[in-house]
Structure 1
Amino acid sequence: MKKYVNLQYLKSHFCIQDHILIKEHPKHLHTRLLHGILNPLFAKQTRFILREICRLMDKTCIMLEIHDRTLLPDIFHEFNFVRSRAFPHFLKQKWDWTLDDDQKERMGTILDDRDPYDQTQSPFSLAMLTKKQLSNVKISNNSRIVVVGASDTGLSFIESLLTIKDIHFTNIILLAPGGLITMHVKHEFEMLKAMSTNYTLEELRALMIDARVQVVDAKMVKLDKKGNRIKIDKNAFIPFDYLIITVGLIDTELQSREKISFGLSKSPYYKNSQFINGVYSIDDPYLYSHFKRTGFKGSNIDLLTRKKKPQNITIYGNTLTTITFMNGLLNRGVHPSRINYVMPPKTFQKQTRFENNKQRLEQEDKMIFDPDQFENEEVKNKVFDIMVKLGIKIHQGFTLYELKVGKEGFGLNSEDVLQEVIFRKQADNYEELKIEIQRKEQELQELKDNSENNMSKDMYGEQEEGENQLEVLAREIEQLKASEYDYLQLDSRFFITSGLIDIDKEIFHIIHENGLVYNGRLIVKSNFQTTQENIFACGKICEFSQRYKHHSVGKSLRLDKYNGRELGQKLSKCILEQLNLSYLTSQTYSVDELPQLYMPIGQGGIVPHKLYYYHIKKNDFSKPRQLQQLPSKPILSDNFSNGNGHFLQFDIDPNGLIESVTYFGSEAVHIPSLLQFVELSVKYLNKLEQRGKLINNVSEFLSENWAIALYHEWFSEFRHITKSEMLKNELIDQVLEKAQEYARDGRYMDENFFEEIKKLITRDIVENIQEGTIEFVRENQNHLPMYFIPKKKLN
């Protein structure tokens, strides 16, 4: 044990306020566990021993730091994991602020080199235990919970269960083919795929999922619902009490051609499947393993980067992941000239305006199936210009036609590998050729009919080369058919597909073989339960039953349009009810009601030239019919040029709320800060609507000290509490009635509306809001030290 604990550092880097009242546990009552070894004979007395240690040392809190190479002690399950905190920023740059003498005095003496105001995420994770918690019984739940799929929903579900202080779940198994992303990537520039904005890489690493639950590198291939077990692709079975299906949607290009991605070739289950060495799906679970720098001769990266006869790679698709994959290759040393990027034509025409919510939902379904690389055309053009300048070859409008293989190596060591990829697209005069072909085919058929009825020689006519009209016409038709398409042949040793997005065929067969209801998506109840009582499903492959369609007017029943992290949290509360642990949550579900889902959804990644791109939008675009045709109003700031600068766009709805935000630039941005903007009133942005054209760099403007409080992780909670307090005032009822009157008339909250309600707001309400804001900043000075806070008035 170590007596000294840098409490100021822990307060600013971890949410220890979730576990203790810090005022009741001053600095001298904290201690830190460095190492812990317990004889198994005394395992049942663990809590008693820890409680006695606290008594003898006169301590009330034990802290345990977990670093990268920390060996977790046997007593780790007795501790409560503490969520890490991030300092509020917009751009990831230091605050315009220095620590003054008064703040240094309040902070106290620091005996180690850890700065509570270092503005970076802690390099370690934290668990803690209080003396009071040791006096209570921590229940062990031994239910066998098997989670299939390491999606955001699955990770969020596990995180929610593990954060419950009074329960220790001893038997959670996560099926994650290829492992977790944190097992392969140490830095964001090593990423090969785009990521949602639900979790950052730092957050996933801090959660330590792989150390707290059993992660199995395997894929579910069979389900035995009667025997309560699943079969994995390692020819083994895993029993379960509760099965949680949280797999996502995947690229189906290879599956539609009856082929399997080469990353799965070593799995015993796929030994009889069709593979081509060098052909991968972008959703191959072992993609990171096959495209990592190993230093070994003959590895994929070695073949692409070697000095003598380097190989080429072709990437095919329209998704953001195709762009981020190219950046991952560039950061692994692949020369841009070795990369071919082929884009297939879109399967639908994108709409920008809608007459009703049904049209909008249909458009969103199509965009899930066939997404764009970027939501913003200006960003897309900028990225493509950079890719061309780097030397990446881009081909648009071609579809995959044929994969050609050949022998590589000599003798017994030779094997079939990919050598060439052939694409094609319709010729410019495709429709004219079609008509001409039909005309000549009809003419040919008439000649054949005549030849059967008239065998005289005159019918053949005279040809210079002795050929008859039938042969000439047949040859002309063949030539016309050959010119219907333009062909593109690319010499390529590797081919990556990222085509249309849909459910994995194997998951689809598992669902049907076991009688689970499927109608384009796996159908679930409002508590995410399938037709089998102990099988739950949640995430992008699911859809709420049609029985709830009257409860979701204007909203989608499909879960692929909602935030995966929020869905995982809701799912965990439903499982607690199933386990008779509903007393641990205040949220209850009715069979006839859908859960309220409000968190924004987003996607982003690192694109070529090490540039950052993120797009985040709200999940509910349902509007009254009168407002559907009103376009969103953009606030745009663009000072990006020559690979440097920032592009930032806010889309504002008619009520002045931010619908979506797009960031593209050379500086890293704090993702939770982007999330904070969505559905925030534009009036929080310091008159940005009026001053936008006068500000050269809005990204820098939003990184100034005045805006830092907006990005604080508890700011949205503060807003909610403030609104709840205001609703108790009778005058606010008049404001709400005014808003309802506007809505009934098909109007929205314009400047006239705000001028009218300002007249109803009394000075007392304004002062209460001001006092609440000052108190919020005062309580969070460790993250908001740049604000001057007046001293409290003495009564």
Structure 2
Amino acid sequence: MKDIEYIRSHYNIEDFIYFSHHQQEEHGRLHHFALNPVFRHYTKFFLKEILRLGYKSCLYYPIYPQSRESKLQSSYAHSLTSALHYLVPVRPRRQIVYPLEKLGINAPSKEVSKDQSSYALYHTNRKLTLEPKVTVNARIVVIGASSVGISFLETLVFCSHLKFNNLTLISTHGLPGKKLLGSEQRKFLASDHCFNDKDYALMSLCSWVNVVVGRMTGIDRAAKHVVVSQNETVFYDHLILCTGQQYQVPCPTGADMNQHLTNREVLEKSKKRYTGKVPYNLFILNDEEDCVEALIWMRNNSILTEGKVIVYGNTLDAYTTVETLLHIGMKGDCIYFVHPPADSNISCINNYVIESAVEDAIRAAKVAVYRESLLAQWNDGQDPDPIHSACFTTPTKPFRLECSAFFSFYKKNVDYETFKAFNDACLVYDGRLVIDTTFHTNDIAIRAAGSLTKFSNRYYSDEWTHSNFSSKEIGFQLAAAMLTLFDPTLEPVTEPPADLDRLIPMYKGAKIQGGILPGSYYYLHIAKPAIPSPLDVQRSQPDFGSEIITGNAKDGTYFRLYINKYKLVEAITCFSKEPFPVSNYIRLIGQ
């Protein structure tokens, strides 16, 4: 097998074998395995005989992402094997991003550093053919393909000694990672760096998870099934809710422009839910499919060259969308960047020097910026479909803008249909879905995690929610809590008595946000979980520690390293004109 060194360096095959105990020619690649279903029960015996007759000790089977399945004439064509459930998935190894040109002769060998098509790897060997897997037939249904839900499924799938036969994901767009926008293009939305398209290819969750495309519209707790898109039912033994929060359609306050009202007089009306017809040129971007749909519509309707666009919001996603619009060809003077009144004194970037550099870049691109502006009307109060104009109130006088498309990033919240499903099922909801420290809702068969949830009031911890922590770690801990039900190698964990269950768990994984900001600045911020507070307030604390800052934000060379009083790296901020190795920087936290 020629590429065994690549496999050894990119996958954790030494979780299953001692590499030095196997000669190179004893590693084999499985291209095809077709077996009459009558004999499927004897698959392990066939694999064992294949190893014996082929003088092999290990077999590897790659699964390439769907985008490559059609290239059957290529050298990596493999047929779908019926032996997959008798192979074990191999976790990918985190790769160090090497500056190959600077290292010269000290760089790792090309066999290790070469850029290959990503694939999920499955493996078996002599020893594994003799080890039975524990079959888990429990119906586990996950609602929502958020980072929490994907992390949960990943953890279950990579339990090599367990075989989950009934994993189901219900999501409006199925599994993520379809590379709809391409890796080189600007992304409309910022990233939390939990998973990227390459990670999805390396997991190949579609090989293990049944995917139901649709929206959950109801839960029947007595019959233990969920209703999908009003007419389909999916039964469960364990229901996992990971829908998260999404940007919602903004509700205009309806303020009369002739009365010259200010924000203070109409602020309460902005909190209402919009119930009218959603205009077709109003874009609410929550995932890659939404972004592609918006991009295609704008190109088909010549918006990029002739139209005007309003971007409404003050989140990081709003900034990255402005940069994407500029990058794909829109003129800056055709973009109106409208900031609604802030809910707190903490901005989405929370670093004055970076904010100043971004504002200068926006000004240089001739993008008009309006601050403290609250949406009052579409089309002067007439039929809003399509939107031709929008009126806004401010702390002083109102104004009106013409537009061909409206992008809204105003306030994330739990989707109304999702909330209604929870409420009708009598799940305790208090602004968010209420859970305890072991992810349980008030139904023992239903667990929830992520920004959808909040801790019960009995913990007196309103400031701490799952939103403060890494979504990937939350998903892993959720899976670990459930594995005690299925894994016979783990000792059952006894629930703490109610009078002792008073402290919420604290997770340690770094919270990350990043994206490309106006001015083509690459931005990354990594920090340990914390209750948000302004950077200046953090610096004024007596136990702040120290920080190392190099470069200049406006030149695109800014780097900030915060070291706490225990001499551990607690936060990193990078703001650069050039791309940088994000995965390398993430590993610095806590060192």
2:373, 2:393 within 8 Å by CA — same for their partners in 1? yes
Counterpart position of 2:210: 214
Q: 1:394 aligns with which of 345, 369, 373?
A: 369
1:188, 1:201 within 8 Å by CA — same for their partners in 2? no
Q: CA deviation at 1:662?
A: 0.7
Counterpart position of 1:94: 100
Instruction: Kindly indicate whether residue 240 of structure 2 is the aligned counterpart of residue 231 of structure 1.
Output: no
Letter in 2 for 1:605: G
User: After superposition, what is the alpha-carbon deviation per residue over 1:262-305, rounded to whole angstroms, capped at 9, x for unaligned?
Assistant: xxxxxxxxxx9622121122337851341244xxxxx3322245
State the alpha-carbon separation in 1 of the partners of residues 586 and 493 from structure 2: 24
Counterpart position of 1:75: 83
Q: 2:393 aligns with which of 421, 424, 429?
A: 424
Counterpart position of 1:663: 574
Letter in 1 for 2:487: L
2:145, 2:176 within 8 Å by CA — same for their partners in 1? no
Letter in 2 for 1:320: L
- Aligned partner of residue 96 in structure 1, secondary structure: helix
- Aligned partner of residue 88 in structure 1, secondary structure: coil
State the alpha-carbon separation in 2 of the partners of residues 98 and 127 from structure 1: 34
Q: CA deviation at 1:257?
A: 7.3
Letter in 2 for 1:495: F
State the alpha-carbon separation in 1 of the partners of residues 313 and 489 from structure 2: 48
State the alpha-carbon separation in 2 of the partners of residues 313 and 181 from structure 1: 28
Q: CA deviation at 1:425?
A: 0.5
- Aligned partner of residue 333 in structure 2, secondary structure: helix
State the alpha-carbon separation in 2 of the partners of residues 379 and 24 from structure 1: 53
Q: CA deviation at 1:400?
A: 0.8
1:316, 1:496 within 8 Å by CA — same for their partners in 2? yes
State the alpha-carbon separation in 2 of the partners of residues 605 and 588 from structure 1: 43
Counterpart position of 1:130: 125
- Aligned partner of residue 301 in structure 2, secondary structure: helix
1:614, 1:663 within 8 Å by CA — same for their partners in 2? yes
Q: CA deviation at 1:333?
A: 3.7
1:86, 1:121 within 8 Å by CA — same for their partners in 2? no
2:11, 2:90 within 8 Å by CA — same for their partners in 1? yes
1:177, 1:217 within 8 Å by CA — same for their partners in 2? yes
Using the size of structure 1 for normalisation, the TM-score is: 0.64
Unaligned runs of 5+ in 1: 105-114, 259-271, 294-298, 351-371, 409-414, 428-485, 681-795
User: After superposition, what is the alpha-carbon deviation per residue over 1:238-272, rounded to whole angstroms, capped at 9, x for unaligned?
Assistant: 221111001212224526879xxxxxxxxxxxxx9
Counterpart position of 1:160: 155
User: After superposition, what is the alpha-carbon deviation per residue over 1:693-725, rounded to whole angstroms, capped at 9, x for unaligned?
Assistant: xxxxxxxxxxxxxxxxxxxxxxxxxxxxxxxxx
Instruction: Kindly indicate whether residue 194 of structure 2 is the aligned counterpart of residue 198 of structure 1.
Output: yes
Using the size of structure 2 for normalisation, the TM-score is: 0.85
Instruction: Kindly indicate whether residue 574 of structure 2 is the aligned counterpart of residue 576 of structure 1.
Output: no
Q: CA deviation at 1:225?
A: 1.1
State the alpha-carbon separation in 1 of the partners of residues 288 and 221 from structure 2: 25
Structure with the higher helix share, 1 or 2: 1
2:217, 2:230 within 8 Å by CA — same for their partners in 1? no
Q: CA deviation at 1:532?
A: 0.8
State the alpha-carbon separation in 1 of the partners of residues 188 and 175 from structure 2: 13
Counterpart position of 1:562: 469
Counterpart position of 1:302: 300
Counterpart position of 1:118: 113
Q: CA deviation at 1:306?
A: 6.2
- Aligned partner of residue 216 in structure 1, secondary structure: strand
Rg: which structure is higher?
A: 1
Letter in 1 for 2:235: P
- Aligned partner of residue 195 in structure 1, secondary structure: coil
Instruction: Kindly indicate whether residue 292 of structure 2 is the aligned counterpart of residue 283 of structure 1.
Output: no
State the alpha-carbon separation in 2 of the partners of residues 637 and 678 from structure 1: 18
Compared with structure 1, are the counterparts of its residues 399 and 191 closer, same or farther at alpha carbon in structure 2 (3 Å cutoff)?
Answer: same
State the alpha-carbon separation in 1 of the partners of residues 253 and 165 from structure 2: 42
Q: 1:142 aligns with which of 123, 137, 146?
A: 137
- Aligned partner of residue 291 in structure 1, secondary structure: helix
Q: 1:601 aligns with which of 494, 505, 511?
A: 511
- Aligned partner of residue 117 in structure 1, secondary structure: helix
Counterpart position of 2:450: 539
Q: CA deviation at 1:318?
A: 0.7
Identity over the aligned pairs, expressed in percent?
A: 25
Q: 1:638 aligns with which of 551, 557, 568?
A: 551
- Aligned partner of residue 206 in structure 1, secondary structure: helix
2:523, 2:574 within 8 Å by CA — same for their partners in 1? yes
Q: CA deviation at 1:176?
A: 2.1
Q: Which moved more, 1:240-249 or 1:120-129?
A: 120-129
1:638, 1:646 within 8 Å by CA — same for their partners in 2? yes
Counterpart position of 2:407: 496
Counterpart position of 1:355: none
State the alpha-carbon separation in 1 of the partners of residues 431 and 60 from structure 2: 49
State the alpha-carbon separation in 2 of the partners of residues 168 and 273 from structure 1: 47
- Aligned partner of residue 417 in structure 1, secondary structure: coil
State the alpha-carbon separation in 2 of the partners of residues 118 and 586 from structure 1: 43
Q: CA deviation at 1:330?
A: 3.6
Unaligned runs of 5+ in 2: 70-78, 255-274
1:87, 1:120 within 8 Å by CA — same for their partners in 2? no
